[in-house]
Amino acid sequence: MDNQYLQTINGDLWLTEDERENLKISYRIKEVLFSKQSPFQHVMVLDSYDFGRMLVLDGVVQTTSIDGHIYNEMISHIPLNLHPNPEKVLIIGGGDCGVAREVCKYDSVKEIDMVEIDELVVSACKEHLPEVSGNLSDPRVNFLFIDGVKYVENKQNEYDVIIVDSSDPIGPAEQLFSKDFYTNLYKALKDDGLMVCQSQSPVFHLDVLKRSYSHIQSLFPITKLYTAVVPTYPGGLWSFTIGSKKYEDVKSDNFSKDTKYVNQAILEGCFKLPEFLQQALK
């Protein structure tokens, strides 16, 4: 049962995230449901005591059944409520299928291209993490198991909304935070399109957030930052940045999708930033 990421201590199984030099978080684990090396990373689905089932990539928790919906709802419903009529949506990353699941809740959406480099993440989540993936089987979702950075290089004027659901900007995901990549997203969007990306922790990675925000601000006429609380991410507070060619305000005044976190109050409140963040973006 043990591998390099799991340890047995006094008969209990523990996963310890130790990518950070000065902070370690350990989760007590009930059961290893899936564990396999893909060409890109080590993929596990674990059942934990406090957070339910968890997707773990290279030993780092990515999403859990207890709070995965918060991140996935926030990165999906906010941009889809800024755009008045999203029909064609591109998701880059998002292998846990939670974003695609949320996007499928919009009848206006006709087509969803989901570009995820690692097919093993998708198959593992569909089978072992139904709380997040929803066993996704909507025919509007077109899976493409290729590199998202390469995919957008030659796209022009094609998408209404692009959602970048990346992991941390270390290793392969680093390019998903580069100005070249955002430039290609701008081109891939229609004249009134908009994009969103996760822009990391305002507490621990304010430098990444500011760089990413500044790249997007230099390309798009409208740039907006919003936050949510994701309990399993260090620091809890997480940021998302929107780059929009035309639409600026939330359209809905009576949000009523089937959600656990997002509602009309959150749609309006999520753009209200604490003072240190307002200062950091000046």
The residues binding a copy of itself (CB under 8 A) are 14, 20-28, 48-50, 66-67, 70, 203-204, 227, 229-231, 233-237, 259-263, 265-266, 268-269, 272-276, 278
Q: Cα separation of 182 and 197, whole Å?
A: 10
Residues 232 and 52 sit within 8 Å (Cβ to Cβ): no
Q: Is 95 annotated as a binding residue?
A: no
Q: Which amino acid is at 17?
A: E
Q: Cα separation of 55 and 47, whole Å?
A: 9
Residue 236 CB, shortest distance to a copy of itself, in Å, is 1
Query: Active-site residue 165, yes or no?
Result: yes
Residue 276 CB, shortest distance to a copy of itself, in Å, is 5
Residue 98 CB, shortest distance to a copy of itself, in Å, is 16
Catalytic residue (choose from 113, 165, 192, 249): 165
Residue with the two structure tokens 């922790």: 201
Residues 57 and 43 sit within 8 Å (Cβ to Cβ): yes
Q: Is 168 annotated as a binding residue?
A: yes
DSSP string, 204-232: T-HHHHHHHHHHHHHH-SEEEEEEEE-TT
Q: Is 116 annotated as a binding residue?
A: yes
Residue 15 CB, shortest distance to a copy of itself, in Å, is 11
Q: Cα separation of 100 and 137, whole Å?
A: 10
Backbone phi and psi for residue 78, each to the nearest 5 degrees, phi listed first: -65, -55
Q: Is 2 annotated as a binding residue?
A: no
Q: Is 167 annotated as a binding residue?
A: yes
Report the candidate in 52, 61, 42 with the shortest Cα–Cα distance to residue 4. 42
Residue nearer to a copy of itself on the CB measure, 141 or 242:
242
Coil/strand/helix, residue 182: helix
Q: Cα separation of 140 and 130, whole Å?
A: 19
Residue 256 CB, shortest distance to a copy of itself, in Å, is 11
Q: Is 166 annotated as a binding residue?
A: yes
Q: Is 41 annotated as a binding residue?
A: yes
DSSP string, 267-282: HHHTT---HHHHHHT-
Sign of CA dihedral 265, 270, 275, 276: positive
For residue 249, give both structure tokens. Answer: 């305000």
Known catalytic residues are 165
Q: What residue numbers does the annotated binding site for S-methyl-5'-thioadenosine cover?
A: 41, 116, 147-148, 172
Q: What residue numbers does the annotated binding site cover?
A: 41, 96, 116, 147-148, 165-168, 172
Q: What residue numbers does the annotated binding site for spermidine cover?
A: 96, 165-168
